[in-house]
Structure 1
Amino acid sequence: MSTTTTAVRAGVLLAAIGVAAAAFVYFDQEAPPGAVGAVPRGGGGGVVSETANSGYTFERLDDPPRTIVRDAQSVVAATMTDGARTVVLTGASRTFREPKATKAVVTTNAWVRLAPQAWRAGDESADWFRPWLTEALRDDRPDVFAVAMEYVDGAADQKDAKGVRFRGDAAFGPVAPTGEGRLERSDFYDYLGVQWSFDDGTQAQPDRLHYGAVDCSGFVRLVYGYRMKYPLHNTNTPGPGLPRRAYAMAEFGPGVALVADAGRRSTAYDVLQPGDLVFFEVEGSTDQLDHSGIYLGVDSEGHHRFMSSRERVNGPTIGDVGGTSLLDDGGMYSRAFRAARRI
């Protein structure tokens, strides 16, 4: 990476953390000179402190409690939320597109990565933080968004040294053998076609009929768990990692509940930042959250856009086929949006 690009990445973060102008099918990248960050939405002014000789200042904000890192020019460089591992960093501007599925795009300089541990107030003085931040601001490897886009329609396959296909166009799942037209559930290990051993000692066997497929929560687990190394567990009960189903992730998953499910549509868009998990009650019969996705930000048409694996388009998408991937347009998913979590 060039010195100029590194400097920009270390000094410029997505201003409004709820904003990431938008479109995806990977991706144009540039580092616009002189880009300026601003305080993310969702909380007023806070206490500003400075670590001696660090060049950084740290500002505390509320709703949710979080720490904003600013560089020597007072530009936002990173945002960490208490109790969560996801960090939004400033990086080169990227535009994500899925032209077969939507005309909208998402252009953003937000890069979403995982810190080695959940953030706590005051961690700017912890031994782990400064080396991690320095490396993270220089890191140009795929982040959460780039990884997620490696599974949309037409994405190229890639295998690891063991011959396991770990990226490439993913389906949603096969038709159930009952003939009812419903699709059976597919987890990340089904997509991979490998047996998986979880930290609790349980094992899961892939179904060969589900090879190359992930349902909505399986897609979240594929991106955040298998690829980004967030802990996973094999049940829908509280535990140290991401549970299996959407309702369980929303109710007692790790991290911070930004929007609690109140049994009705939420319009609390301002508390969201790129990378948050969003949850929906789409089927309308069980009153249980049954769909999950990853929030991207505000797209080129001014709407709050998310990405998820969906039945009607048979796989991961940011597009608008079979319903818009939007939280705020009054469409099917917009009406069903009920909860959000930052992990």
Structure 2
Amino acid sequence: MSPVSRRAALAAALAGTAAGVVPSTALARAPEKASRAPAAAPAAVAAAPGAQPPATVWVHRQDVNEGRFFRAGLGGPLTARMTGAAGPETYEVSDAYGPLATLTKGARTVTVHGPRRTFTEQKKAFTDRFDRAVPGWGTSPGGGRWATPDTGRAEFRVEGGSGTVVLREDGFSQFATLSDSLGDVDVSAVLTLDRAPAGDAVSAAVCCAYDGDGRNYRARLSFLTTGEVRLILEMAAGNTTTVLGGPVQVGSGFRPGDRWRLRLERTGTALRCRAWRDGQDEPATWQAAETDGTLGAGGTGIRVLANKGGTALPVKVLVGEFTVAGRRPEPPEVTHDLWVRLLDTPFDGALTPALERRLRDWAGDTSPDALGYAAMFLPHAADAVDPVLGTRVLGESGYGPFNTKTGDGTREIGADFWEYMGLDTWTFPNGEAPAQPENTGPQKRWAGFLDCSGYVRMVYGHHMGIPMVNYRDLDGTNLPRESADQAAKGPGVVVAGFTADGVPGQAPPPLDGLRAGDLVYFDAYDSAGDDDGVGDDRGTIDHVGIYLGRDQDGKRRFSSSRKTPDGPTMADLGALSVLDAGTELYSRSLRVIRRF
């Protein structure tokens, strides 16, 4: 079946959903009046049986004056004027109500004014089980790179499925931390020691609001020389440590290798913690709690200490699991009334009667657009199955499977749209074979994953209909496989970034011509292929995202599939997903803007 007829079948299936009845993962409320019945979001199709309602991924907030957006046949004649914006020739089309749409000569994408929407994302929970072989603690799966000190007082390494800290000197605390800044957070760990304390206690804690070793909240387990285990809730601010709760005795008879679970929760100014032996039920009540608003958002991590006077050294603290479930102080939000649609052919500069009818119809259309599809792969997005292909075509995506060759906990690059769907192969219109037919057999190791360019191809190619190839026929009409080819030879027009010699510039291009739905291309990865804020500006396009619009802080925010967050995200794990944040990774490594 051709891609066009496949999408028609999907649209027919969606049309069977009652107009205005829309799932929480897509449109919170549909307009009551429209020039035609709006199609429900695809997330309603074949949702996983028994699945719990996920958090909102994108929300449609109904405008007060909704009537102005449903103006097919209304609003008087349309007029077009050149905008004077930087970059390619761009036209704003208006009617009596005001701006209706913006078109770009040579591009198929059109931004249309419609109902206002808010795109947002809640952070995914993750658990680090330290199942890797790396120096230090390496990179956690979904939490970013661990920061561990290089000090003779302690040694950090991963061994035997645990993150270990070898404490060689008493009286000094050591931290291993993740930099993602969180406000409300729920953090827990599984902890033990390799030998019984002697001389004085040994402590292990989970931390939040970390802003340097001298500023953090922590829930601390103190393993005493008597075998007693005590829980203390503390705050470090400046050079002062304040006990907020406890100490509370939670156990006795500790022996080396006994595993304890420790949990710290922060909600607003409320802090509470509890601890229990691994394998037993989690206590129903919190064992220490307090209210404190001294510290703001910050990182999470582990803090270990051999008290002054301890003699059982070196002692090894082992972290078997580290889990974080939380969010930023405010989740990122992008709110505007722009919908990104696709013309059948590139705009040639002429406003024809047929194009006028198309623009008027789009003004009242709430079926998914490019931005809507982009949001349907973010964390907590509901699954949807294509009724023709019989495969999952929407739903939360990862970045790629773990790299089994290196065993270092990093993820492989290479997941394209057809592999996300769990297909063995894909036939492109030009007869080209897939780049890596490795999704065969029952394991389907690439199923459910999209790398950065695979994410773009899934949204703009598979769902929006731009024809795709891999590495042949890069003629400016097809959508290539790799981000570097997309930037240089992809469909549409370049908004900014290439020099007169046809190569990407060595500095971020101006952003004044940027519009929602544009593709943003980066030289972002470091030599290890990590997107963790290192970056080495090697002169090669290696990453791509979809520009969403300005967030609640006025920053230009994009969505892309990234290794550190493990999949499509518009949030800030490892590095800010914004384009105008000065020296931040993606702001400084942006090189090309293209409009399909």
How does the TM-score come out when normalised to structure 2?
0.49
Could you tell me how far 1:5 is from its partner in structure 2? 5.7
Between Structure 1 and Structure 2, the one with more strand by share is 2
Could you tell me how far 1:178 is from its partner in structure 2? 2.0
- Does structure 2 retain, via aligned residues, the 8 Å contact 1:106–1:299? yes
Could you tell me how far 1:206 is from its partner in structure 2? 5.5
Question: For residues 175-324 of structure 1, what are the structure 2 equivalents within 5 Å?
Answer: 175-179=402-406, 181-194=410-423, 195-204=425-434, 205=437, 207=439, 208-235=444-471, 238-239=474-475, 240-261=477-498, 262-283=504-525, 284=536, 286-324=538-576
Question: For residues 82-121 of structure 1, what are the structure 2 equivalents within 5 Å?
Answer: 82-100=105-123, 102=328, 103-121=331-349
> 1: distance between equivalents of 2:347 and 2:478?
16
Could you tell me how far 1:267 is from its partner in structure 2? 4.6
Counterpart check, 1:132 vs 2:358 = yes
> 2: distance between equivalents of 1:146 and 1:310?
19
Task: Specify the alignment match of 1:17 in structure 2.
Answer: none
Distance 1:2 1:157, change over 3 A: closer
Between Structure 1 and Structure 2, the one with more helix by share is 1
Counterpart check, 1:71 vs 2:95 = yes
- Does structure 2 retain, via aligned residues, the 8 Å contact 1:106–1:297? yes
Secondary structure of the structure 2 residue equivalent to 1:197: coil
Identity %: 34
- Superimposed CA distance per residue, residues 196-236 of structure 1 (whole angstroms, 9 cap, x where no aligned partner): 21111123246221111000000000000001111111116
- Write the letter of the residue equivalent to 2:455: F
- Write the letter of the residue equivalent to 1:65: E
- Superimposed CA distance per residue, residues 79-134 of structure 1 (whole angstroms, 9 cap, x where no aligned partner): 00000000000010111111325522111100001011100112x12x53133223
Where in structure 2 are there 5+ consecutive unaligned residues? Answer: 1-29, 39-55, 70-74, 124-326, 499-503, 526-535
Task: Specify the alignment match of 2:589 in structure 1.
Answer: 336
Distance 1:206 1:111, change over 3 A: farther
Distance 1:187 1:61, change over 3 A: same
> 2: distance between equivalents of 1:2 and 1:185?
40
Secondary structure of the structure 1 residue equivalent to 2:557: strand
- Superimposed CA distance per residue, residues 300-334 of structure 1 (whole angstroms, 9 cap, x where no aligned partner): 01111000000001000000111110111131111
- Does structure 1 retain, via aligned residues, the 8 Å contact 2:497–2:509? no
Task: Specify the alignment match of 1:56 in structure 2.
Answer: 78
Secondary structure of the structure 2 residue equivalent to 1:323: coil
- Superimposed CA distance per residue, residues 167-218 of structure 1 (whole angstroms, 9 cap, x where no aligned partner): 1110100123321535231111110122221111123246221111000000
- Superimposed CA distance per residue, residues 234-281 of structure 1 (whole angstroms, 9 cap, x where no aligned partner): 116622311111111111211111112443231511110000000000
- Write the letter of the residue equivalent to 1:98: E
Worse overlay, 127-136 or 266-275: 127-136
Count the aligned residue pairs: 310
Secondary structure of the structure 1 residue equivalent to 2:376: helix
- Superimposed CA distance per residue, residues 44-66 of structure 1 (whole angstroms, 9 cap, x where no aligned partner): xxxxxxxxx96111112343212
Distance 1:4 1:157, change over 3 A: closer
- Does structure 1 retain, via aligned residues, the 8 Å contact 2:33–2:67? no
- Does structure 2 retain, via aligned residues, the 8 Å contact 1:282–1:333? yes
Distance 1:285 1:338, change over 3 A: closer
Task: Specify the alignment match of 1:45 in structure 2.
Answer: none
> 2: distance between equivalents of 1:91 and 1:36?
9
- Does structure 1 retain, via aligned residues, the 8 Å contact 2:118–2:334? yes
- Superimposed CA distance per residue, residues 19-67 of structure 1 (whole angstroms, 9 cap, x where no aligned partner): xxxxx82113212328999xxxxxxxxxxxxxxx961111123432122
- Does structure 2 retain, via aligned residues, the 8 Å contact 1:193–1:206? no
Task: Specify the alignment match of 2:391 in structure 1.
Answer: 164
Which 4+ residue blocks in structure 1 deviate beyond 6 angstroms? 34-37
Task: Specify the alignment match of 1:14 in structure 2.
Answer: none
- Does structure 1 retain, via aligned residues, the 8 Å contact 2:57–2:379? no
Secondary structure of the structure 2 residue equivalent to 1:145: helix
> 2: distance between equivalents of 1:266 and 1:234?
27
> 1: distance between equivalents of 2:386 and 2:558?
28
2:104 aligned to which of 65, 81, 88: 81
- Does structure 2 retain, via aligned residues, the 8 Å contact 1:57–1:72? no
- Write the letter of the residue equivalent to 2:463: R
Distance 1:32 1:203, change over 3 A: farther
Task: Specify the alignment match of 1:32 in structure 2.
Answer: 64
- Does structure 1 retain, via aligned residues, the 8 Å contact 2:496–2:509? no
- Write the letter of the residue equivalent to 2:336: T
Secondary structure of the structure 1 residue equivalent to 2:375: helix
- Does structure 2 retain, via aligned residues, the 8 Å contact 1:31–1:91? no
- Write the letter of the residue equivalent to 2:460: Y
Could you tell me how far 1:287 is from its partner in structure 2? 1.8
- Superimposed CA distance per residue, residues 141-174 of structure 1 (whole angstroms, 9 cap, x where no aligned partner): 0111111111111111111224210111101001
Secondary structure of the structure 1 residue equivalent to 2:461: helix
Task: Specify the alignment match of 1:155 in structure 2.
Answer: 381
- Write the letter of the residue equivalent to 2:395: G
How does the TM-score come out when normalised to structure 1?
0.84
Could you tell me how far 1:135 is from its partner in structure 2? 2.3
